[in-house]
Amino acid sequence: MMGSDIALDLGTSSVKIYVSGKGIVLNEPAVAAVDTYTDEVLAMGEEAYTMVGRTSERVRVVHPLCNGVISEYDLAEYIIGRYMKKISSSRVFMPRVVVSVPCEITEVEKRAVVDAISASGVRKVCLIEEPVAAAMGAGMEITEPHGTLVVDIGGGTTDMAVISLGGIAVSDSIKVAGDAFDEDIIKYLRRKYNLIIGQRMAEEAKKKIGCVVKRPDPVFFRVKGRNAATGLPAFIDMTGDEMLEAMQEPVQHIVRALQNLLEQTPPELMGDVYTDGAVLTGGSAQIYGMDQILSREAKLPVRIAEEPQVCVAKGAGYATKYIGAMDGEALTGINPLSAAY
């Protein structure tokens, strides 16, 4: 591992680490359980995720990354450091790192990401914008003078961009993605059935029967929670049609953002996009009908990438070969990395 370059995808819902020559070696939920009395981290990753909604008042489960940026700096720094140690057996392991960031991130937010990673003892940190990493991970050719449209629907943010010559021609990032779908399912059940459910139950329902276009066959999922009026345990069998109704508002936000992006796209690139269509990446791209509704509303072909949930991590991993060019080494072609620290 000594001298290996690695890539980090610090997502709102999960942290993924890619090691050159090995692929993705770590994929864990981006959560940590903290003792509120001592501020000690009790668990992180998959172990902490099982505690969501099931803790005592002494333990709180925290998402240190929110909407694609760091919201709890000390905790994010701790988690990154622990995961870096986990993938390395060497005590002198000082890798160079490529990290993906949302395309509309501010300089302050960038600096927080860089500082949190630098604290774990890395030699160099390079940034790559998420749509560029997603396009590379989806196997798209981004260095040609040709427009490529990628829409990355993650947990906290939806990033979309038209990419040409290794850079972003026009982009947008909205804080509407997988978490917004979960919240709207919770609100819908509270409003219609007076049923209070937790985030994990909403996410499970979304994964099982979530849809943004009408399904051809009826589907059901039993949602369990608490009746808001009586305070007693309750459940309902939620249908696919009800799920479609619950998820309409967030998907309309994504549709409008895509339409606005296309309005700003230069005509020559628009011709390329119209011919090739868009590629969907990110975990929420797998929601039933997401490609169909975006294709219908944007009037262009839309396809889902292979393994969409790991495209950003893979793309950032492929970009590690460009780290040397940030130090002035000779480079053939265009460097997709946006900054180095």
Domain 5-133+313-340: CATH architecture, name and number where available: 2-Layer Sandwich (3.30)
In one-letter notation, the amino acid at residue 109 is E
Q: How far is CA 4 from the centre of its chain?
A: 24
Q: Is 214 helix (H, G, I), strand (E, B) or coil?
A: coil
Same fold, 5-133+313-340 and 140-304: yes
In residues, how long is the chain?
341
Provide the token pair at 86: 């986990």
User: 239 φ, ψ to 5°?
Assistant: -95, 165
Residue with tokens 């589907």: 219
Residues 6+ away with beta carbon under 8 Å from 309: 282, 283, 285, 286
Give residue limits of the domains in the chain.
5-133+313-340, 140-304
DSSP H helices, the chain, are: 46-49, 73-86, 107-118, 130-137, 178-193, 199-209, 240-246, 248-264, 267-276, 290-298, 311-318
Q: Which of 84, 90, 91 is nearest to 17 (CA)?
A: 84
Model pTM above 0.75 = yes
The CATH code for residues 140-304 is 3.30.420.40
Each residue's pLDDT expressed in tens, for the chain with a length of 341 residues: 445 789 999 988 899 999 988 899 999 999 999 999 998 999 999 999 999 888 888 999 999 988 778 888 999 999 998 888 888 765 556 788 999 998 888 899 899 999 999 988 888 899 999 999 999 999 998 988 999 999 999 998 999 999 999 889 999 999 999 999 999 999 999 999 999 999 999 999 999 999 999 999 999 999 999 999 999 999 999 999 999 999 999 999 999 999 999 999 999 999 999 999 999 999 999 999 999 999 999 999 999 999 999 999 999 999 998 888 877 676 666 888 888 88
C-alpha span between 303 and 275 (Å, rounded)? 13
